[in-house]
Structure 1
């Protein structure tokens, strides 16, 4: 309980500091000797009349020492043109050392459905100019191009995918988890070579250093400059396979570590203030799940599948985290009280689906939702077999998945599409209430699922993925031997998904090509190979 109290105290302090940065009553330094915008700028969480603008002032990407241990005065402006001749809003904010001199500005008073340019200034230093946009007005059916990315481990490749994401000129970039990995050397060589697995982030300064390392990459900065982002987290922003307030180690002080990681996430992401501020209920202590409406064309439901989930089922003795298990040997999987999203978020999603008038309802979440059984031959003599499932994914929460799919069906929300990541593999799947029965009038396809591979993180051999596709007929496609991203083009009548694969993840100048194209048509759930 003491650890949880520390967690809540830290988040309440974060709330106070975030508010103070916009109404700081004391002295703030107006100039620094070193250039402060080495981590670039970013925008995110767009609305029809506003967008969040972000930067962090830091001279050295690997330094945990601030420019100065004092508040810093930062000016910002947003304009209708790249030359900043038609400035539509501007202001002043204080970058506090307690927040790593990060800056979050909600630029308001903007027009719906148009592009803007923004920048920050500190003394004589001017940041790069970022490009952002607002969402269309409520009744608009304006087309939208979205890039989807996930899982970028610094040590396993270059961030060339982000250079290509920027080159596609998306309207919106969605990142659904593992923006950083909590372990690895703080080395700007890219990719760095891990010296040992136990170089891991536990403290606020260590998480800050890890984010700064990642944000020093020019390709990642370019993607942030190109368009606004919608972001959520998965496990590695905090700790591998963590669930709610428990990690693999069963560390009694884990909630203190989690609070540090949550603060570092807030300090480095363009998220809205109300998403990062406690609401009184400790189970909503750092809410990041949110909605974004692209006019009447798309409603994005962005979920948090880590903070509120039940612990993984049937964990090994004296350890938390995931395992590969046989479902028949694990009664936890049949417990109807277990949840992936938490009761409050489940209800929030159900209400959002039921009230949606959007043509497309895109559920942005972390990991593969389709059932993914691993076949294991037990007795070759009589060909009897068993299968195993991975408990950190939705297979470890089958009744929670069933509730979500039932919610999709009962809501009658148009064209539900699930976006996934986490497993470092491209998948295309058709989701139905009972994966063990064929598609029928009683067991229809309820939604399409598109899972994005990793930006850099490595995966299982392609031969194993092909076996998974063969054993799970609702999986129509799987490629684990490719790194890259997804580009989705939404229109009134269809959504086209292009799975984009890098030629060589180890090279910053790697080319990219279309690995596979799929289409989901309006009114016809399921995936179609183009």
Structure 2
């Protein structure tokens, strides 16, 4: 009997990942130049940034993934790696193959950037190094730029703090077999063990100190990539990734760290290099010192254009010392969260767009969230609320360009939200001009709790906030010509592995009708979960749990 695609992908990825659990946490092999002694494909495989004629294939060789020097126990030499691309999962129809060098000075990471492939096709890929073969990955090319694009199954995720729980949500996402996965930041966290704790204690620990050096960041990425659930999610579909803050350091803003640090730019450069080494990114994103080009566009035929943003590298420093504040700097028209060049690029993209859906893949909350019921606004200085003129220019930009269906995708705040976007949030009757969908975390914040009403208390004076849930999970979407359906998928717990997932709520955005139509509401039975206090967002949680 033929092996199904799902069985092959999940069993091969999990099998490879299983080998990583046998390594001593602090193991570190001395440099050597001989043959590979054990399987180097302990970090799995990935693909990314699909377009109509290609994509990126990725792997990184590591025989001892958690080696403290960040080099994965690999020999101090370059290693030739053979790659294969096939039209079938058994590799009977190989369409491309080649050899690439995994360089020692790049932590033996591999990026194969392919083009010239037929559009709208599914492919399978694998790697070989000496006598070892990697797990199999599944990927695809996008439809032709001129094509309607059919229907796209896209899911998006964010915030996977390894210490706060198990990555079961990644496995449940893989079982959905989406066509495309977006990761909107906080793929890994920089903290030393026992620094960022959840109530009841963390179920897992980071290996190594707080990430500051290149070796630290490489080791931390390897620990995350060793997780079998994450490996399965990478293997099932191409990803498009952007960072938020924790890939480098909490709440950094351009060249300004959260706390004074004369070595921050050295740290930033190390974080950027490790990020590129460990992500399926194109050569256009190769870092140059402290700079890395991450904002970019992906096109899925004429159905959808994804504008992937970077709201960290170019922003002005957060106003009034960060946090939730009533801060005059939030209204300063000179301040920007994107920087002038990225803003101009985005506005130009709106004007040129011919897509049915223009989707912004970005990091921090876009719509207004005033957490004070009185006349004085109290807003998050780390989100778009702290850069209101910047938000207004972007919003007016898509309105003036006549963007057909603007949708903003967001991570960061460790909870599911859905809200309607306005030009004037102070006028409840103001016309809705766009829609925001916010995914919860994979693990960050621990188990969380269901909110049976599906509403945050802030919605009483922020009526555009339409949905809230404080469990972990991801958002699954179905994008078609006439509608975008968003399923808010949740797990009842993450502090132990194996939880089942269910759809907590579903919303539909209709073509040319910005706003949210709820089509399903499935609260978790209160008998199995306590209903916790409303989540205040990541910014407040960090202040309560991470700082003295």
**Quick check: TM above 0.5?**
yes
The CA deviation at 1:431 is: 0.2
Question: Counterpart of 1:523?
Answer: 512
Question: Counterpart of 1:22?
Answer: none
Matched, 1:485 2:483: no
Q: Is the 8 A contact 2:488 2:506 kept in 1?
A: yes
Matched, 1:59 2:49: no
The CA deviation at 1:277 is: 4.7
Q: Distance in 1 between matches of 2:51 and 2:206?
A: 40
Q: Is the 8 A contact 1:45 1:52 kept in 2?
A: yes
- Residue correspondence of structure 1 range 250-289 to structure 2 within 5 A: 250-278=260-288, 285-289=291-295
Question: Counterpart of 2:381?
Answer: 391
Q: Structure 2 unaligned runs (5+)? A: 1-31, 195-200, 520-548
Q: Is the 8 A contact 2:455 2:467 kept in 1?
A: no
TM-score when scaled to structure 1? Answer: 0.86
Equivalences, count: 476
Aligned equivalent of 1:312, options 300, 313, 318: 318
Aligned equivalent of 1:432, options 391, 415, 422: 422
Q: Distance in 2 between matches of 1:376 and 1:370?
A: 17
Q: Distance in 2 between matches of 1:296 and 1:387?
A: 40
Aligned equivalent of 1:132, options 107, 130, 139: 139
Q: Distance in 2 between matches of 1:145 and 1:371?
A: 28
Matched, 1:159 2:146: no
Question: Counterpart of 2:110?
Answer: 103
Aligned equivalent of 2:151, options 143, 146, 154: 143
RMSD over equivalenced CA pairs, Å: 2.2
Matched, 1:77 2:84: yes
Aligned equivalent of 1:510, options 487, 494, 499: 499
| CA deviation vs aligned residue, 1:133-187 (integer Å, no higher than 9, x gap) | 000012222110001100000011110001111110100001000000011439x
- Residue correspondence of structure 1 range 5-404 to structure 2 within 5 A: 31-63=35-67, 64-65=70-71, 66-141=73-148, 142-185=150-193, 191-193=203-205, 199-278=209-288, 285-315=291-321, 322-326=322-326, 330-375=327-372, 386-404=376-394
Q: Distance in 2 between matches of 1:526 and 1:437?
A: 16
Cα gap change, 1:498 to 1:389, in 2 (>3 Å): same
Matched, 1:455 2:432: no
Q: Secondary structure at the match of 1:375?
A: coil
Q: Is the 8 A contact 1:29 1:71 kept in 2?
A: no
Question: Counterpart of 1:494?
Answer: 483
Q: Is the 8 A contact 1:30 1:122 kept in 2?
A: no
The CA deviation at 1:111 is: 0.9
| CA deviation vs aligned residue, 1:430-478 (integer Å, no higher than 9, x gap) | 1011100133xxx421111100000001188878972122221110111
The CA deviation at 1:212 is: 0.5
Q: Is the 8 A contact 1:30 1:72 kept in 2?
A: no
Cα gap change, 1:353 to 1:167, in 2 (>3 Å): same
Q: Secondary structure at the match of 2:335?
A: coil
Q: Is the 8 A contact 1:235 1:306 kept in 2?
A: yes
Q: Distance in 2 between matches of 1:334 and 1:494?
A: 35
| CA deviation vs aligned residue, 1:210-232 (integer Å, no higher than 9, x gap) | 11010111110000110000100
Q: Is the 8 A contact 1:421 1:452 kept in 2?
A: yes
The CA deviation at 1:96 is: 1.0
